[in-house]
């Protein structure tokens, strides 16, 4: 593996810098956002490298679990931040945190104990990257699913309410909106799997091959990761949509409105 030094990294940063300069006059905001997120990327990933080195030396399962929880919590905040409108569902953070936690932890433990089978199984070299990969993708799915559910409920309020008036319960009345939200949550994963290798080389595999790994092994790992992501995103967004729907109706099964202040 050819090591990459600071000079080489600075070279790639120069390209983004150039791009930001190019747009400075016409859209200063875009340039600013671009630069800030570039700095965040460099800073956050450098920190992670330090943390990973520390973790690898320690191999304490509780530290691994704690780091994982911090990751899930930040993902939960991210889901909340991405919702544009005021949510009509209550406890949005709890809904996304819980569904992300359950799906990514279960998938991760499944993969670590039955597939990678490292010694010990929670070895941070496997556990942390796997969890990160899973979380990033389930977060996208859950965030897509929940914001689509919100949109569907506000755009189709009349339909959902009319179905309730006809005596349907909240699950029947919201069935079309829930199905559509679940599809929206799963489509990026489904498309990603279908296009892998033909249109795009998945990032993880590319990184491994660039770092000198055997392509066949890299592909095997990539397939495993993809399948775990599909299952994790699927179960996670299904759970989030289920919980989100419950939180969108009040105790008399009426669709909440976003104006109502949260009661708890």
Residues of the shown chain interacting with another protein in the complex, contacts defined by CB under 8 A = 156, 158-159, 161-169, 176, 250, 252-254
Residue 161 CB, nearest approach to another protein (Å): 7
Report the residue number, 170 or 225, with the smaller CB distance to another protein: 170
Neighbours of 242 (CB within 10 A): 15
Q: How far is the CB of 247 from another protein (least distance, A)?
A: 17
Shortest Cβ 182–another protein spacing (Å):
17
Asked whether the beta carbons of 148 and 184 are under 8 A apart, the reply is yes
131 vs 160, beta carbon nearer another protein: 160
What is the DSSP track for 112-174?
IIIII--SSTT-HHHHHHHHHHHHHHHHHHHHHHHHHHHHHHHHTHHHHHHHHHTT--HHHHT
Smaller CB separation from another protein, 37 or 155: 155
For the CB of residue 245, give the shortest distance to another protein in the complex, in Å. Answer: 15
Which is nearer to another protein, 177 or 233 (by Cβ)? 177
Instruction: Provide, rounded to whole angstroms, the least separation between the CB of residue 39 and another protein.
Output: 48
Q: Which is nearer to another protein, 182 or 239 (CB)?
A: 182
Beta carbons within 10 angstroms of residue 42's beta carbon: 12
Burial 5-15 (b: 16+ CB within 10 A, else e): eeeeeeeeeee
């Amino acid at each position: 593996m050819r090591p990459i030094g600071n000079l080489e990294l600075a070279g790639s940063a120069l390209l983004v810098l150039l791009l930001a300069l190019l747009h400075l006059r016409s859209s200063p905001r875009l340039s600013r956002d671009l630069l800030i997120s570039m700095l965040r990327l460099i800073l956050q990933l450098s920190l992670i490298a330090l943390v990973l080195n520390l973790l690898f030396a320690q191999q304490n399962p509780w530290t691994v679990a704690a780091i994982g929880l911090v990751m899930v919590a930040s993902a939960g905040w991210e889901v909340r931040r991405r919702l544009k409108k005021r949510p009509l569902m209550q406890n949005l953070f709890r809904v996304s945190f819980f569904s992300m936690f359950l799906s990514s932890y279960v998938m991760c433990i499944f993969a670590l104990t039955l597939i990678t089978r490292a010694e010990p199984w929670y070895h941070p070299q496997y556990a942390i990257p796997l969890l990160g990969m899973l979380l990033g993708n389930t977060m996208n799915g859950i965030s897509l699913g929940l914001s689509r559910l919100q949109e569907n409920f506000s755009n189709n309020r009349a339909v959902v309410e009319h179905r309730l008036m006809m005596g349907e319960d909240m699950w029947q009345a919201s069935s079309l909106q829930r199905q559509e939200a679940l599809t929206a949550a799963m489509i990026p994963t489904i498309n990603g799997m279908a296009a892998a290798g033909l249109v795009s080389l998945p990032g993880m595999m590319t990184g491994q091959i660039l770092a000198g790994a055997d392509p066949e092994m890299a592909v095997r790992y990539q397939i495993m990761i993809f399948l775990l992501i599909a299952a994790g995103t699927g179960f996670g967004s299904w759970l989030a949509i289920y919980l989100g729907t419950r939180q969108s109706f009040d105790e008399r099964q009426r669709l909440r409105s976003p104006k109502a202040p949260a009661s708890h």
